[in-house]
Amino acid sequence: METINLIFEKNYTIVSKDTEKLINKILNTGQREQEILLDLIIKRQIIEKKEINIIDGFIFSKLIEIKTEKIRKKLKSFFPNGIVSFKSSLKINYQPLQNLLLKKKFQEADKITQDYLCELIKITTNSKREWLYFTDIQFLPKDDLFTLDLMWKIYSKGKFGFSVQKKLWINNNYKWNKFWATIGWTNKGKMNRYPQEFIWTIEAPEGHLPLFNQLRGTQALSFLFKHIQW
């Protein structure tokens, strides 16, 4: 029990291989340990209403893979739609994205994320878009952006999301070519072709998803990184 409690004391930005190995070991110990982890998630998110952590999302994702009837029913009772709850201020219902991310259907999740961004611009400016211009970024509601980013992080062990990409952009000294290579959007200096040359699994490089149309230049993504205080 002490080991389990220690897991939640850290402030995670990403689930390391060692942490993943430890949690898998606990889950594989037996149903009692599985129920302890589930009860802690319920306590943190439902009772104490703590800010959701990457580790909450990872453990939740592992628990939904367990076929034990008691675990399954309890998850359905407390988290019928997933572990991320939505603010009433949001402009769009993002449950379809949560469903896709829960199932690790990252290509479909990426597509719907791009659709959501264009829909948000339509809602806020009444302008129809197939992709975003850099001038559109200022009109994206922050609560909606934060929610999209949160879901990508929560269901990817902290590997994916706009805020993750911004961190890597900064770490690469704002050099776009280095950034593209780091997140796996280029190969030997050439832009990847969509969709076949991108990686649609959790094994993709950190920051690989969601995609942004870099072929139209860096202005929109640069504005996204600079305009939003992630």
Say if residue 191 is in the same domain as residue 106.
yes
Please tell me the predicted confidence (pLDDT) of residue 27: 94
Report the alpha-carbon angle 27-30-32, nearest 5: 95
Parent domain of 73: 2-78
Say if residue 216 is in the same domain as residue 136.
yes
Q: Is the pLDDT of residue 2 over 80?
A: no
Cβ burial of 48 (10 Å; 0-12, 13-18, 19+) is exposed
pTM of the model: 0.95
Say if residue 104 is in the same domain as residue 172.
yes
For residue 170, is it left (φ>0), alpha (ψ between -120 and 50) or beta? alpha
Say if residue 129 is in the same domain as residue 66.
no
Query: In 48-105, where does DSSP find H-type helix?
Result: 54-63, 69-78, 95-102
Say if residue 114 is in the same domain as residue 57.
no
**CA-CA distance, 106 to 103, in Å (whole number)?**
8
Give the end of a domain, one of 21, 45, 78.
78
Say if residue 105 is in the same domain as residue 217.
yes
Residue 156 near residue 202, CB atoms below 8 Å? yes
Say if residue 121 is in the same domain as residue 177.
yes
Average pLDDT over residues 55-75: 95
How many domains does the chain divide into?
Answer: 2
